[in-house]
Amino acid sequence: MPLKGTDIVKKLPESGKKNCKECGFPTCFAFAMKLASGGTTVDKCPYLSPEVKAELEDALAPPIRLVTIGRGENSLQIGNEEVIYRHEKTFIHKPGIAFLISDIESEAKVEEKVEKLRGLQFPRVGLTLKADLLALRNESGEKSKFEALVRRVYQNTDAPLILISEDTDALFLARDICADRSPLVYPITKENIDEAIPKIKEKPTPVGVRGQNIEDLIFLTTKLKDAGIGDIVLDPGSRCFQQAIADQTLIRRAALKQNFRPLGYPTIGFPCFMAKDNLREFLVAAMFIIKYAGIIVLSDTDKESLLPLLVQRLSIYTDPRIPMSVEDKVYEILEATEESPVLLTANWALTYFIVSGEIEGSKVSSWLCVKNTEGLGVLTAWAAGKFSGDTIGPFIRKCGIEGKVKHRRLIIPGKVARIKGELEEALPGWEIIVGPREAAEIPAFLPTLVRQWQN
């Protein structure tokens, strides 16, 4: 259970009665309450003993540690999740999707996979969906081949990397090549942990621990933590579908429900080692997206397989409390002019992208006025009073469209034809035209309308 303010205050100087205000809070109690809610940090109180400070930091740490792989804008953050079920609040850090590259693959295949990571990007609802990492595997068992692969990939891409080798020497030699990129070094096991700990501490980067079961993981993470190593990713070693679900669920529940620190880390899943064909591999990957993996490693991919997985990840890791929306403003579509038609819609992201796509499909350059409906679609926004004449009128006046066009004709969605009268009152001088009920009808509707205007 997370520490409460009332528990914290007892650990503060003079049992929370010093009240010297040096932390910026009027009392120790106020500081304790803020600390418990994450609004301040332990180091703001200069009078804590190192033991109490360490105890509080440990108790206040998130139940699943945030781990960062890679550096800079391409880095991947995983962990720090707060709920077991998405509908309780939201899942926060989407799992990284990695492509596996083996050192027995040809140079051409290596290049192809590096290029796939770079090239397979999909625009959707204003975001770019793409995979995130490359996992480099020492399958040959030869140090030199692995080193050559790591060097080549390191030089050709700035993607975050996972290094995989059963040979501890080869693993840390590879780590040395790309340590500045903060790769995930995998696997640390019961067999190599004593040899690995001093090497990890030499150049700290995240490490992936692999056990035969959950008990092994507890042993490994405890040992690493005692050595001062905290950036850990868990692999319980399960390689069958059912066991993987059981392990992932157990780890998540232990971390969140029991606040069990030895399992309070993000996990990694390997569909690439669990399925014999592409379809099964992507089904396993889809399971890992739902069931808590922080990283999912695929053997290879194509556009048709990757896109559904990325869309699934987007859906699961979108905050269900906040509808996806776009900025309320005037959007220009296809080099609009002062004669171009003006259309109106709501700012739910899906509405915007469908409507703007259909306008593009009509090949009629247009202005699209997107009103803030707090992420609601047209009909829902109308029912909630956010898409009425009273609210649209002031928006049209202020959004700047009157300076962009000579005419005063506004096309409204057919589903809210009933607001035509209200709008005519709210926007004197404007002609209100009822457009199609469905966006799919826009490509037929717009060119016809524009031809009528021209004749």
Footprint on this chain of ligand SF4 (rule: CB under 6 A): 12-13, 18-23, 25, 28, 31, 45, 47
DSSP letter at 308 equals H
Minimum Å gap between C-beta 10 and ligand SF4 is 12
For ligand SF4, which is the closer residue by CB, 13 or 62? 13
Residue 346, φ and ψ in degrees, nearest 5: -95, 170
Minimum Å gap between C-beta 8 and ligand SF4 is 9
Minimum Å gap between C-beta 53 and ligand SF4 is 11
- Give yes or no for a contact between 200 and 168, defined as CB atoms under 8 angstroms apart: no
Minimum Å gap between C-beta 54 and ligand SF4 is 16
For ligand SF4, which is the closer residue by CB, 13 or 323? 13
For ligand SF4, which is the closer residue by CB, 60 or 350? 60
User: Rounded to an integer, what is the distance from CA 125 to the centroid of its chain?
Assistant: 14
Distance CA 195, CA 169 (A): 9
Is residue 255 packed enough to be buried (19+ CB in 10 Å), middle (13-18) or exposed (0-12)? buried
For ligand SF4, which is the closer residue by CB, 49 or 315? 49
Minimum Å gap between C-beta 26 and ligand SF4 is 8
Distance CA 30, CA 17 (A): 11
Minimum Å gap between C-beta 56 and ligand SF4 is 11
For ligand SF4, which is the closer residue by CB, 13 or 230? 13
Minimum Å gap between C-beta 50 and ligand SF4 is 15
The first and second tokens of residue 64, run together, are: 């699943």
For ligand SF4, which is the closer residue by CB, 52 or 290? 52
- Give yes or no for a contact between 120 and 99, defined as CB atoms under 8 angstroms apart: no
Cα distance from N-terminal residue to C-terminal residue, the chain: 73
Inter-CA distances, 91 with 80, 83, 94, 267, Å:
9, 7, 7, 14
Cα atoms found within 13 Å of the Cα of residue 303, Cβ hemisphere only: 7
* Residue in the structure block whose two tokens are 């259309």: 343
Inter-CA distances, 339 with 328, 382, 450, Å:
22, 29, 10
The first and second tokens of residue 344, run together, are: 């109106």
For ligand SF4, which is the closer residue by CB, 27 or 140? 27
